[in-house]
Amino acid sequence: GARRGSQGSDGSDFLDAMGDYVREYNRLGRVALQGGDVRQAEEVLKQAMQLVEKDLSHNTSLLVLTLNNYGCLQKRLGRPQQSHAVLSRALSLLPAAPPEALQREGVDTADVLLNMSAALSALGRHGEALGTVERAARELAARVGGV
């Protein structure tokens, strides 16, 4: 139907805008991490975390994306314990996220598991890290197979 004014009565336009901000902060954070600019990554990913926690915690796939990137950042900052905690939260939320929404956000179980294995390895938990990599490999095989 036709939209009146600039905002839906349920505030959905506001939430759409917030979602776009969070996606952009995540994108900038990933670019900064890839470029080795950890300080810049921390700045934008902290903002992504604050926004998603405040206004978009119902958007599970966006929360998982943000937690995954934030967990990656924590590991790069030499905080494997925090990284593990953040990624554990992402993993626990994954089953609640619709697969097509995760696909749209560009994150999936394999991504989170691979980051988790790096955190476990940094914590000296190499057996668990290996098991996590194997789980990620199974996820990737299923993804490629279209299962």
Does 6 reside within a domain?
no
> Quick one: what percent of the chain has pLDDT higher than 90?
82
Confidence at residue 9, expressed as pLDDT on a 0 to 100 scale: 52
Does 3 reside within a domain?
no
Confidence at residue 10, expressed as pLDDT on a 0 to 100 scale: 63
Give dist(CA 55, CA 43) in Å, integer: 19
Confidence at residue 36, expressed as pLDDT on a 0 to 100 scale: 96
Residue 126 has pLDDT above 90, yes or no: yes
Does 84 reside within a domain?
yes
Confidence at residue 147, expressed as pLDDT on a 0 to 100 scale: 53
Among the residue ranges 1-5, 20-24, 46-50, 74-78, the one predicted with the least confidence is 1-5
Does 7 reside within a domain?
no
Domain that holds residue 64: 12-145
> Quick one: what percent of the chain has pLDDT higher than 70?
92
Specify the CATH number for the domain of residue 140: 1.25.40.10
Confidence at residue 6, expressed as pLDDT on a 0 to 100 scale: 42
pLDDT (tens digit per residue) in 68-85: 999 999 999 999 999 999
Give dist(CA 96, CA 134) in Å, integer: 22
Confidence at residue 145, expressed as pLDDT on a 0 to 100 scale: 80
Number of structural domains found in the chain:
1
Residue 5 has pLDDT above 50, yes or no: no
| Mean of pLDDT over the chain | 91
